[in-house]
A = this chain, B = another copy of it.
Amino acid sequence: MTTDAATASSGTSSFRGLAQAAWQDVAAEGALGPVIEHPVDLSTEQLRSLYRLMALARRVDRQAINLTRQGALGVYASSMGQEAAQVGAVFALEKNDWLFPSYRDSLGTFARGVDIVEILALFSGSWHCAFDPYEHLVAPQATPVTTQALHATGLAMAARLRHDPIVALTFFGDGAASEGDAHEAMNMAGVYQAPVIFVVQNNQYAISVPFRMQTHTSSIALRAAGCGIPGIRLDGNDVLSVYAAVRVAVDRARSGGGPTLIEAMTFRIEAHTTADDQSRYRTEDEVAEGRKRDPLERFLGVLREGGAVDDAYLAEVDAEAEALAARMRDSLFGAPAGDPREMFDHVYATLTPQLEAQRALLHQEMQAAVDP
Contacts and interface: CB of A to CB of B under 8 A. Distances in A.
A243 B4 CA distance: 13
Contact of A13 (B15, B43, B180): B43
Q: Is the interface of A mostly helix, strand, loop or mixed?
A: mixed
A179 B111 CA distance: 34
A179 to B, nearest CB: 7
Interface residues of A, number: 104
B42 A18 contact: yes
B217 A228 contact: yes
- The listed residue with most B CB atoms (<10 A of its CB), out of A113, A180, A232, A258, is A180
A94 B302 contact: no
A179 B62 CA distance: 40
Contact of A226 (B17, B30, B217, B305): B217
B306 A24 contact: no
Interface string A227-249: 11111111100101101110000
Interface string A1-15: 111111011111101
Interface in A1-54: 1-6, 8-13, 15, 17-28, 30-47, 49-50, 53
Contact of A43 (B11, B230, B231): B11
B25 A231 contact: yes
Contacts of A235: 22-23
A191 interface: yes
16 contacts: A1-B113, A2-B93, A2-B94, A2-B111, A8-B43, A9-B42, A11-B44, A15-B308, A20-B38, A21-B39, A23-B241, A24-B32, A182-B183, A191-B214, A216-B228, A223-B223
